[in-house]
Amino acid sequence: MAHNRDQRRLLIVSNRLPVTIERRRKRLSYRPSVGGVATGLGGFHQQHNSAWVGWPGIVAEEGEKEQIAERLKSQFRSYPVFLSRAHIEGYYHGFTNKTLWPLFHYFPQFAKYEASEWKAYLEVNRLFGKRVSEIAQPDDIIWIHDYHLMLLPGLLRRSLPKATIGFFLHIPFPSLDIFRLLPWRKEILQGLLGADLIGFHTFDYARHFLSSLLRLHGLAHEMGQITVGNRLVKVDVFPMGIDVRRFQAEATSSRTEKEVRRLRRKAGNRKIILSVDRLDYTKGIPERLEAFELFWERHPEWSQKVTLILVAVPSRTKVESYRNLKRQVDEMVGRINGRYSTAGWVPIWYLYRLLPLPTLVTYYRIADVGLVTPLRDGMNLIAKEFVATRKEGKGVLILSELAGASKELGEALIINPHNREETAQAIEEALTMPDEEQVARNRTMQRRLSRYDLLHWAEDFISGLLEVKDLQRELETRKLSVQVMNRLTKLYQESSHRLLLLDYDGTLVPLVEQPSKAKPDAALLSLLRGLAATPQNTVVLISGRDRQTMEEWFKGLKIGLVAEHGVWMREGPTDLWRMMEGLSLEWKEWIKPVLEKFVDRLPGSFVEEKEYSLVCHYRRADPELASLRAKELMGTLTALTANTELEVLQGSKVIEVKFASVNKGRAALSWIGGGGFDFILGVGDDWTDEDLFKALPEGAYSVKVGLGTSNAKFYLDSPEDVRQLLKGLIAKEMKR
């Protein structure tokens, strides 16, 4: 693998360690953890240069902690985070499983919003952050997992600003309408943005996350890339795989073959439908039983010919909603069995227990149909495991369209789990499907699962993470570093004829929703006055603003002004404004109605009319609707202005129509063309400034404000950084 991956340690961070400690007869026993991330990545951890940080599953006494930590480190390459009973109650049983779990699975009616539990969640994330910071090495790749630790990337970014941090969410990320119900939604987003790469199982989850970022934080993305301050964050999709070879080996072992024959004798010639789930309200078990009962009502010919093996793994038994679900399932199974059982046949075998892997694989093998119909599931690896164990290729998977796995396993019978009729019909179709069709469907899915297995998934994520860091480092080389700043300042001091070409909005002042509110403050006016006071300096403000505004705001300053991107120019305060060339206004009559229609359809937007350009601002509009409307407007305007002298520019939340022959680069040439400058600095923030950067001579310094592709040689993070740069030039000048 590229990026020197083999020499770097992988630091896996999850709620649970791959090993669980239990206290038995006053002695501590260590056993492999079952379920979740710990099981999924346990094998990967054993085979790679990695360490694991997580809770060991026990409330340790003070005298035990050192002994536990040493054994976990030496035998399991694991580092424990010790939690108190109060932490476990508030963080795990509370916020993660009473707030995040139901909300992210579209069950807001079960979500509780307790400030004390949020506080516990924050405290535990801080404990994890402290532990990771203690053991992390400079070259470590830190991979954080799941909804228990959504604040951790941001906490680590503050303590380890240069760290390589990835985050993967194993459950769904909900739509904005659901996510915005969370009182601490912005804190969660800010926490996740501490990662360099944020991974999801499906495109839908990634899209929901990006939509929430846009609507709640105003952060737009470009091909999944988001600029967060001076950092680049990538959002991408990585559907988690399984260890296919492990399941295939287990499915063909002699032990499994023996158990399959025994269970087959017990089941007789009946068809077996298998349902395996944690007993959780997201899994749709009652809905599944209702559909199964409907199947029997409509197809009495299958009586005594089909058995449903319902495996319900105990889960969160201390939570009231889970206890209620257990009672409901017990009653439904009892009622259905009571209604349909005969002397030699029970329609449902109900197993309320956790099955060890060999037993689980045995049940996969004897099943003719896998019934996997959650109401909402991040991925659902049960579906993939069932397909992987189809030794002869026979067997039919019925899969919910609301499970992430449905995006990959399209050859399964995909159903809406809320539609009992559709599920019952799928059961009948599965039981009667010809063997050849079963084999064809399963072989296709098996090939896909083998290509993108657990190892491929993990390596793919890590490769993606390192590629983001490579891109960040590449961008950092363009940042105006201290060394470059020193060279720039030295050249500035040694020069005798300097030209400073400065954009205004987004460069000297931050962008604001209402353009009129970007009036220069006293500190900026003082800074410009100081720059202009030096005889060697020629200072020019090149802006898209109209000339009346610029004259009012910068009245009396001995600086050059360029308005409307170059339509109007003025060399100094006593000079008259002059036009670059003669321009007509007739085009406004047919362009302005188009912009006004756009504004009518986009609340929060407005049209600004300048002398020789029209600008549509939509910074205050709904960001998603604005994005859609802006694309429509760009398409319409581009078509209308084809074969004319006009051009359409799309900047930061603005669309402007102006003459193509007028641009900042051409305006700058009016000063550059005079020659004689031995120092030139050009600074701007958006793509209207790209013409300026292209017009600068080879030896000039060009600086863009903000990350992104640009013709500028360097970049700075913010207008405040630009001001600091200019202040530094004045300070050095005064010391000479």
**Which of the residues are catalytic?**
503
Burial class (CB in 10 A: 0-12, 13-18, 19+), 63: exposed
DSSP-derived secondary structure for 109-169: GG----HHHHHHHHHHHHHHHHHHHHH--TT-EEEEESGGGTTHHHHHHHHSTT-EEEEE-
C-alpha–C-alpha distance, residues 11 and 458, integer Å: 13
Instruction: State the Cα–Cα distance between residues 312 and 354, nearest whole angstrom.
Output: 8
Tokens of 347: 């329609």
3-state secondary structure of 28: strand
State the Cα angle at 639 between 634 and 645, rounded to 5°: 100
User: 665: which strand partners?
Assistant: none
Give every CB contact of residue 637 below 8 A, 6+ residues apart in sequence: 591, 594, 648, 655, 657
Q: Are strands 654-659 and 614-617 parallel, antiparallel or unpaired?
A: antiparallel
DSSP summary character for residue 509 = B
DSSP SS3 for 378: coil
The DSSP output letter for 545 is: S
User: Whole-angstrom Cα distance, residue 147 to residue 129?
Assistant: 15
CA-based Rg of the chain, rounded to a whole angstrom?
32
Per DSSP, the three-state class of 390 is coil
Rounded to whole angstroms, what are the CA distances from 150 to 92, 301, 445, 465, 468?
13, 51, 32, 17, 20
Beta strand 348-351 pairing with 306-313: parallel
The Cα 592–Cα 681 span in angstroms is 36
424 within 8 A of 294, measured Cβ to Cβ: yes
β-bridge pairing 646-650 and 654-659: antiparallel
Kindly report each contact of residues 72-75 with a partner whose C-beta sits within 8 Å and lies 24 or more positions away, as own/partner: 72/17, 72/19, 75/30
Place of tokens 């600095």: 681
CB 15 within 8 A of CB 55: yes
Nearest partner of 369 among 416, 412, 422, 420, judged by Cα: 412
Cα–Cα distance for residue pair 435/455, rounded to 1 Å = 31
Comparing CA positions, the residue from 504, 549, 548, 545 lying closest to residue 528 is: 504
